[in-house]
Structure 1
Amino acid sequence: MQLITAQTGPEGKLVSKVLVAQDVYYPGESETKEYYMSVLLDRAKGRNIIVYSTEGGMDIEHVAEHTPELIYKEEIDPLIGLRPFQASRIAYNLGLSGVAMKEMSKFVTALYRAYEETDSAMFEINPVLKTSDNQILAVDAKVNLDDNGLFRHKDYAAMRDESEEDPMEVEASKSNLNFVKLDGNVGCMVNGAGLAMATMDIIKIAGGEPANFLDVGGTANAQTVKAAFNLILQDPNVKAILINIFGGIVRCDRVAQGVIDAYQELGNIRVPIIVRLQGTNAVEAKKLIDDSGLQVYSAILLKEAADLVTKVLEEQA
């Protein structure tokens, strides 16, 4: 079936697998209790932090907004790691005692070890369940692996399920493109995440909506740009494309050649293209595009690029 939930969005998600799990809410249910627990990095302090609450099984943002006093935090010194007294303090703050407290302390210790050994960016267990016979179980979990650590965990990379990912984002990763699909009408191709964010702002100011975040990176060449171009054009909602390249490491003429190659290969491209190339070899890049005979709009300033976006959108309205 096509499952539609708040997480999938209105387009839904095709169900391809079903997980059958053990029922842990067995007799004595009145004695069970759900908790929230996560481990993540506090970038401001440079320390790992365990966030936990007695209010498990619900959205932690809702708890933070309405009952922030029920959220606890335990900072972990990365040079020392989680100390036994910290695990015990977490169990105590959750209101546990006796066997349940000992089991929770062991659970917290194992959770933190798993977070560190897997090079994860986040472990979120919601809910952590105390059963009626004082077992502590992870009933549901969300784990984000740090891509930068995957070279140490090739077995994890092999478990990747591309059917659960956006096909366009999968294709982008194969070309080493940083790509996130959005719901707008203006495709953008940029080098550098900061410039990409600024470009998306410019598109909004111009009256459009970004159709994607796409950073071709600092080592982009004609082949990379061609792959990015093909990716953007797969989106039927795209009404215009803004290419905004500041040539520092990347050479503007390579980007221009990639645009020309893609344009010629694809033939009749249905959407107008606005190109802004500044920096290394920008003059050569402009000449390449001007001599190519392509139907593209050329801009020097970011404001000019924004005005051209407005113009082409109004012409299509």
Structure 2
Amino acid sequence: MRLHEFQSKALLAGYGITVPEGHVALTAQDARRAADEIGGGPLAVKAQIQAGGRGRANAVRLVATAAEAAQAAEDLLGQRITTEQTGPAGYAVRRVLVETALRPLRSLYLSLFIDARAAQITLLAGADGGVEIEDKVREGSARLERLPLVPSSSLQDEVAELGGKLGLEQRQLSSFVALVEQLRKAFTELDAVLIELNPLAITEDDAFVALDAKMTVDDNALFRHPELAALRDDHESDEIELVAQNRQLNYVRMDGDIGLVANGAGLGLATLDMVRAANGRPANFMDIRTTATSLDVAHGFALLLDNPAVRAILVNVHGGGMQPCDTIADGLGVAMRRTGRSCPTVVRLAGNNAEYARFRFANFGCDVIDCPDMWSAVTRAVAIAEERGGRS
């Protein structure tokens, strides 16, 4: 789950990380009051959408007075902002952040993320932060340093050494080490998968200030953090994917014609890759969680049956102790009865209750095509989609 900038900054401030003074505004009048409360000095009025590239989209305005802050807010609120990260539809601006605009001596890039291959939290840092950092790294004019944050007696020394590579002065290293430790604590305690500070400012008094902050937390850990779950912005979530999430389904829409159903993220990704290898076009990714009931599964199948682009459904299931195959079979049967629709369905079943699932398919009147292995199921589904769609 992604968080807005103002939410990320509030959480990080709770861990001792310095952020500019700021207030959220829902109206132009709110923005004026926020600016008055902050006091004098230059201000930034920033559209709060969950995407980068706001500066290029003119969604961050620098102003000098409360009146100008109100005008900037009025210009931004209700507008639909499009960046490289929003997709062509963009995101509507429902709130702005009014905050002190600092003039840093230097701007760094700093982020923490989970390195999936090494299964560890990793620090990524650059000596030159800002809106152009991605382009600079691509062009080779900027370099990002990596450091695994594995707790050890030498970690502080390793972070200080990294600070030296970033060009920090000796007097700044202790504050930098403390900042990284604060970030690491926030990352682990909040079950984050990404924290990004860009730019991270260094001020005249050698303070580190997060001028912008981006945070993503693990959806699967939200049961431990009801206070974080309450921060979800449903306006910037895909409505269908959000409902599926609440139905114990990990679901992502795609633009193909073969509906995919699997239980387990790894099996789901393998199925998607195999469909593509067979020159098929997946209509979705769907991972049925072990906590899903047959009615949850029925909701997932209904998404596919309601999608006019889907010409074939491919079910690739390996039943386990918590999610037997018959639960998936019951879900398909319930979905077909509720929607009154059907679609050619290819199934590959293995594991717990595979035979009973076949019996349940028959009981529901589901005319499925049963295949003995994954590849034969994939190629059959692709062939059906091609035949029904007139593709060659």
1:268 corresponds, among 336, 341, 353, to 341
* TM-score normalised by structure 1 residue count: 0.82
1:253 corresponds, among 326, 330, 333, to 326
Secondary structure of 1:9's aligned partner: coil
Alignment of 1:208-223 (within 5 A): 208-218=280-290, 220-223=292-295
CA gap 1:79/1:156 in 2 versus in 1, 3 angstroms = farther
Residue 361 of structure 2 is aligned to residue 289 of structure 1: yes
CA distance in 2, matches of 1:118, 1:307: 43
For residue 341 of structure 2, what is the amino acid of its counterpart?
Answer: N
CA distance in 2, matches of 1:240, 1:234: 12
- Counterpart contact for 1:90–1:105, Cα < 8 Å: no
For residue 175 of structure 1, what is the amino acid of its counterpart?
Answer: R
- Measured after TM superposition, the shift of residue 171 of structure 1 is 0.9
- Counterpart contact for 2:199–2:210, Cα < 8 Å: yes
Secondary structure of 1:180's aligned partner: strand
Q: Percent identity?
A: 34
- Equivalent residue for 2:272? 200
- Counterpart contact for 1:196–1:215, Cα < 8 Å: yes
Deviates more, 1:274-283 or 1:93-102: 93-102
- Equivalent residue for 2:140? 66
- Equivalent residue for 2:16? none
- Measured after TM superposition, the shift of residue 234 of structure 1 is 4.6
> Could you report, residue by residue, the CA deviation over 1:160-187 in whole angstroms, capped at 9, with x for unpaired residues?
2122212122112211112222332211
- Counterpart contact for 1:127–1:138, Cα < 8 Å: yes
For residue 202 of structure 1, what is the amino acid of its counterpart?
Answer: M
Aligned residues: 309
> Which structure has the higher relative contact order (CA within 8 Å, separation 6+)?
2
1:163 corresponds, among 211, 222, 235, to 235
CA gap 1:272/1:71 in 2 versus in 1, 3 angstroms = same
- Equivalent residue for 2:374? 302
> Could you report, residue by residue, the CA deviation over 1:68-114 in whole angstroms, capped at 9, with x for unpaired residues?
7x43344444266963x555444433323376666545544443343
For residue 56 of structure 1, what is the amino acid of its counterpart?
Answer: G
- Measured after TM superposition, the shift of residue 220 of structure 1 is 4.6
What is the root-mean-square deviation in Å for CA atoms of aligned residues? 3.1
CA distance in 2, matches of 1:103, 1:281: 58
- Counterpart contact for 2:275–2:379, Cα < 8 Å: no
> Could you report, residue by residue, the CA deviation over 1:116-170 in whole angstroms, capped at 9, with x for unpaired residues?
4433233211111224565432122221223454444322222121222121221
CA gap 1:276/1:137 in 2 versus in 1, 3 angstroms = same
- Measured after TM superposition, the shift of residue 267 of structure 1 is 0.5
CA gap 1:3/1:208 in 2 versus in 1, 3 angstroms = farther
Secondary structure of 1:209's aligned partner: coil
- Counterpart contact for 2:318–2:350, Cα < 8 Å: yes
- Counterpart contact for 2:247–2:292, Cα < 8 Å: no
Deviates more, 1:247-256 or 1:92-101: 92-101
1:34 corresponds, among 107, 132, 136, to 107
CA distance in 1, matches of 2:326, 2:223: 33
* TM-score normalised by structure 2 residue count: 0.68
- Give the gaps of 5 or more residues in structure 2: 1-78
1:22 corresponds, among 84, 92, 100, to 100
- Counterpart contact for 1:187–1:212, Cα < 8 Å: yes
- Counterpart contact for 1:220–1:255, Cα < 8 Å: no
- Give the gaps of 5 or more residues in structure 1: 26-30
